[in-house]
Amino acid sequence: MTALRANLRVIGALGLRAVRQTFRRPQLMAPIVVFPTLLLAIQVGGAGSAIHLHVGGVSFPHVDSFLQFMLAGAMMQSLMLAGNSGGIALAVDIEMGFTDRLFASPISRFSIVLGRLAGTAALGALSAVWFLVIGLIFGVPIEEGIAGALVTIGLVTLTAVAIGGIGAAIALRTGSSSVVQGLFPLIFVILFLSSAFFPQNLMLEPAQTIANYNPLSFIVEGLRDAIVFGFAGSEMLDALLAVIGIGCVGLLLSAAAMRHRVRTGG
């Protein structure tokens, strides 16, 4: 019990450090908040007419506005960038030798990763709140009300942890911030090949088929379910399963990378 409490204290301290670090460095904060907000504003203005789209018997889903539809995509983009930023920050810690000092201290090695993920979770929750507030300011109704907003924040937070696990695994394996930073374009490839920005059945091939199998599509549809459709189908369950799947992959990869780092020292 005492060991668990000690580990939780370490996770809390490292999580708080991760959040402070992000707020102190604008280059880490900008991709999480500024860039997705900017893209959201531009895409809503640029492609907003899409809600009137009707192609070969398929119509754009009934939404209050394109902003309402896009909020889930913006949150997804933000949390993926938060996961990537967390990975970059962990890699910087490794480069600076901070992680080695943590390895040498009498704390559980996994709390080092969980501490970083706690910071990513906090940033994910923050981004969910940010985009919900933007939506409310611009008159977007949250279909499931306060419950929907809370579910959205919870799902975004869990997804941020799951994605952050993959970022942490890459940081631990490579120990190079530039390698983790190099994943930035890949994040956009994965996002574009999901239903984050447009209904999957209105996308062009082959993006449409890939989006159909992309786990991010399931998560986005879950978020959209709470904001737009009001828990109308099984999307929330699919989203949770996708988050658990990604989270397990991230944890397994992180554990393997951690073992490799401890064994080889780099």
- By CB under 8 A, name the binding residues for another protein: 26-27, 30, 34-35, 38, 41-50, 52-55, 66, 185, 188-189, 191-193, 197-198, 202-204, 206-208
Report d(CA 254, CA 250) in Å as an integer: 6
Shortest spacing between CB 237 and another protein, in angstroms: 26
Cβ atoms 219, 155 nearer than 8 A: yes
Shortest spacing between CB 116 and another protein, in angstroms: 23
CB closer to another protein out of 46 and 245: 46
Shortest spacing between CB 188 and another protein, in angstroms: 5
Q: Is the dihedral of CA 210, 211, 212, 215 positive or negative?
A: positive
CB closer to another protein out of 131 and 197: 197
Cβ atoms 28, 21 nearer than 8 A: yes
Phi, psi for 163 (deg, rounded to 5): -65, -40
CB closer to another protein out of 157 and 195: 195
CB closer to another protein out of 12 and 45: 45
Report d(CA 261, CA 112) in Å as an integer: 13
CB closer to another protein out of 14 and 80: 80
Shortest spacing between CB 56 and another protein, in angstroms: 9
Shortest spacing between CB 31 and another protein, in angstroms: 8
CB closer to another protein out of 41 and 134: 41
* 59 DSSP β-pair partners: 54
Shortest spacing between CB 208 and another protein, in angstroms: 8
Nearest to residue 81, comparing CAs of 44, 115, 130? 130
Phi, psi for 33 (deg, rounded to 5): -115, -55
Indicate the residue type of 105: S
Report d(CA 76, CA 144) in Å as an integer: 19
Cβ atoms 219, 159 nearer than 8 A: yes
